[in-house]
Amino acid sequence: MLHSEDLQRESCCSHHHEQDTHDHCHCSHSESASWKLYFPAAFSFLLLLLGLIADALAFPCFSQAYFRLFYYLLAYLPVGYPILRDALGEMRHKDFFNEFSLMGLATVGAFVIGEYPEAVGVALFYCIGELFQNHAVNRARGNIKALLDVRPGMARVLREGKYWELPPETVAVGEIIQLRAGEKAPLDAVMLSEASSFNTAALTGESRPLTIRRGERVLAGMLNEGSVIEMQVDKPFADTSLAKILDLLEHAASRKPRTELFIRKFARIYTPVVFALAVLITLLPMIFAEHYVFSEWFYRALVFLVLSCPCALVISIPLGYFGGIGLASRKGILVKGANFLEQLTQVHSIALDKTGTLTQGVFKVQEVEAAGDVPFVDWVAAVEAHSNHPVAKAVVEYCAPDPERFRVEDVREIAGQGLTARVNGCEVAVGNARLMHSLGVVYDAAIDERVETLVLAASEGVFAGYISIADSEKEDAQEAVEGMRRCGVERIVMLSGDRESIVRQCAQKLRVDEAYGELLPEDKLRHIEALKADGKKLAFVGDGINDAPALAASDLGIAMGGMGSDAAIEIADIVIQSDRPYKIVQAIRIARLTRSVVLQNIVFALSVKFLVLLLGALGLASMWMAVFADVGVALIAILNAVRILYSRASD
């Protein structure tokens, strides 16, 4: 019944893009018109309702056996034919005992003993349950096409004295390419221009912009945040870092484990047992009964088959997970399949990316330390207003300069060091330690030991102070880590592309068990494989393209969707739409509530079912009792499942 999630998990890599062979109740996974999905069930429901009314009012035409049989067959076929077709399809693959064969036997059995409405109702309920399930699932995850938004479509190549826009695959090693501000590098190349600032988050997760100078390498996928630059290609596209990420993602996705929900495992045991018991009920009395009447015991066996139909399970289990998915959606958590909710209850370890997951992913001023009484922050902001560097923007955001108070002249940018300018006639220098040393500015050597990004300032050659800038933790990051522990997560690990010192400082503050920094995508993937070695369920939480291979390789991938990359959102099994890490805790609670309700339904449905099955085998259960055991229990189970939508247990 629930093959679709398995196929969706595999479909995130191109060679696994295939159709779901079990197209139950014509519930297509494409984005076709919705009426095509619901028409078979609606048509059968309408005919069943009219038939029940006609039976109750004793319409003359319904007193004719052939007409009544034809009418209910017409109502049955739209929802029953897919079940019979799938049962035969499984039999061709030598799988004789599954929910399809049980449903088929039960409905055909109901027709044999003349309980036509029951046969239609059973098939209809099954189809409705499947429609609910399919409606809750993301139907088409596709392949890794989301990464195409990250991979530059064209490269500006210098040929015959002119720049031509060509596909990156056609650019040869040694050719010169041009990269403008705001563009992503299409290929790995060596910098020919003086210097430029790059956002490397797509590849390394590094929160700080990276200044790359002449002779240093630029990797495909890095975003140029400086001026127009020229580079010389040193690798073909197939060997670029971005292409390697694509390859890692594809192979990591293929290693994701396939799962099956309880109902299919249960049916594989339940179906042959029920079928064998029905045969025994028919034939065994032949040995010990004094007056054996075949038709009487055959009737009991058919009633037994009708009673055995697990409608309460077939409907309430998908609806339970549907309720969990609906509640999660209301909390801003997108769950891409019921099996992912089930897996979330089994998570033993959680690995988290730092930048954008536990931290804001943007620079903010953390501390201002003046060397004297001079209000140097205003000077720094006035000078930094002439720069587009992200660090400069953070300073300007912290202290917006007043152009009427501060007259800035002779601004000069020193690549990789900072800015110098005249502010109200005074010589001001703003930049890093290299700039201060080059200008001969003396300051406390202990400042250089700070792990944060520092903006140093000097006026007339005298050190004025520094501004500490860092990527701050999200407000609920600490609460999220504590909440995970309360939910029973035993191991919490931080994996980041940021500097080791920054990662360890953040991990210590949040009380994470283990922390590893300066990791490339393949390094994160290696850590994920090591964490999975103990055989316990591992979830990975990330937001960048560099996290996509780890998301794919983990048992459960969780993406931060608000600021996360399209690739991470595409490959993840669960998406936190608001970027709040505490939502992970809420997701775990919702998953556990859902499992609890589903288990309640299973125990209740099986208890009633087995009791009535026993009565049916003894000839003490009528068809009306069968209807109650089937429809009544299903209704109670459905009501129990629907209450998940209104639960506040996740708050």
CATH value at residue 167: 2.70.150.10
For residue 405, the enclosing domain spans 361-472
Domain boundary among 424, 457, 472: 472
Tens of pLDDT, residue by residue over 510-549, are 999 999 988 888 888 899 999 988 888 999 998 767 788 8
Q: How far apart are the first and last CA of the chain?
A: 32
pLDDT surpasses 60 at 627: no
Domain boundary among 442, 472, 502: 472
Do strands 491-495 and 347-353 pair parallel, antiparallel, or not at all (unpaired)?
A: parallel
Other residues' Cβ atoms within 10 Å of the Cβ of residue 490? 12
> How far apart are alpha carbons 59 and 61 in whole angstroms?
6
> How far apart are alpha carbons 135 and 276 in whole angstroms?
35
Domain boundary among 426, 442, 472: 472
Let me know if residue 647 belongs to a domain: no
Q: In this structure, what DSSP letter does residue 15 have?
A: G
Counting every residue, how long is the chain? 651
Tens of pLDDT, residue by residue over 595-609, are 888 888 888 877 887
Which range has the worst mean pLDDT, 64-68, 132-136, 363-367, 512-516?
132-136
Other residues' Cβ atoms within 10 Å of the Cβ of residue 382? 26
Q: What is the identity of the amino acid at 110?
A: A
What is the average pLDDT score of the chain? 78
Let me know if residue 419 belongs to a domain: yes
Which range has the worst mean pLDDT, 302-306, 534-538, 569-573?
302-306
Let me know if residue 379 belongs to a domain: yes
What separation in angstroms does the CA of 397 have from each of 382, 464, 506? 11, 20, 23
Band of the pLDDT at 289, cuts 50, 70, 90?
A: confident
What CATH number does residue 442 fall under? 3.40.1110.10
Q: Is this model's pTM higher than 0.85 or not?
A: no
- Catalytic residue, chosen from 353, 471, 543, 555, is 353
pLDDT surpasses 70 at 476: yes
Strands (E), 474-608: 491-495, 514-516, 537-542, 556-560, 574-576
Let me know if residue 374 belongs to a domain: yes
pLDDT surpasses 90 at 628: no
Let me know if residue 146 belongs to a domain: no
Let me know if residue 248 belongs to a domain: no
DSSP per-residue string spanning 620-644: ---HHHHHIIIIIHHHHHHHHHHGG
Q: Is 555 annotated as catalytic?
A: no
> How far apart are alpha carbons 91 and 73 in whole angstroms?
23
> How far apart are alpha carbons 88 and 103 in whole angstroms?
12
- Which position has the token pair 């969707």? 561
Band of the pLDDT at 141, cuts 50, 70, 90?
A: very low
Query: Torsion over CA of 4, 10, 16 and 21, rounded to 10 degrees?
Result: -20
pLDDT surpasses 50 at 463: yes
Let me know if residue 130 belongs to a domain: no
pLDDT surpasses 60 at 146: no
Band of the pLDDT at 29, cuts 50, 70, 90?
A: very low
> How far apart are alpha carbons 259 and 5 in whole angstroms?
9
Whether residue 429 contacts residue 465, with contact meaning beta carbons closer than 8 Å, is answered with no
Which carries the bigger pLDDT value, residue 10 or residue 474? Answer: 474
Contacts of 291 (CB under 8 A, 6+ apart): none
Burial-class residue 260 by CB neighbours within 10 Å (0-12, 13-18, 19+): middle
- Give the 3-state secondary structure of residue 500: helix
> How far apart are alpha carbons 11 and 324 in whole angstroms?
23
- Give the 3-state secondary structure of residue 473: strand
Give the ranges where 487-581 is alpha helix by DSSP (H).
Answer: 500-510, 521-531, 548-553, 566-571
DSSP per-residue string spanning 69-114: HHHHHHHHHHHHHHHHHHHHHHHHTT--SSHHHHHHHHHHHHHHTT
Q: What tokens appear for 536 in the block?
A: 């316990």
Q: What share of the chain has pLDDT > 70, as a percent? A: 76
* Per-residue exposure over 502-525, b if at least 16 CB sit within 10 Å of its own CB, e if not: bbbbbbeebebeebbbbbbbebbb
Give the ranges where 228-366 is alpha helix by DSSP (H).
Answer: 241-254, 262-283, 285-288, 294-308, 311-330, 338-344
Which range has the worst mean pLDDT, 311-315, 324-328, 557-561?
311-315
Band of the pLDDT at 78, cuts 50, 70, 90?
A: very high
What separation in angstroms does the CA of 480 have from each of 36, 343, 486, 487? 43, 19, 10, 10
Tens of pLDDT, residue by residue over 397-422, are 888 877 778 888 998 988 778 899 99
Element (H, E) at 155: strand 155-159
Helix, strand, coil percent content, the chain, rounded in steps of 5: 50, 20, 30
Mean pLDDT, rounded, for 302-327? 69
Number of domains present in the structure of the chain? 2
Give the ranges where 367-476 is alpha helix by DSSP (H).
Answer: 376-384, 390-398, 433-438
pLDDT surpasses 50 at 225: yes
C-alpha angle 360-364-367 in degrees, rounded to nearest 5: 130
Let me know if residue 399 belongs to a domain: yes
Radius of gyration of the chain (CA): 33
> How far apart are alpha carbons 582 and 331 in whole angstroms?
11
> How far apart are alpha carbons 475 and 464 in whole angstroms?
32
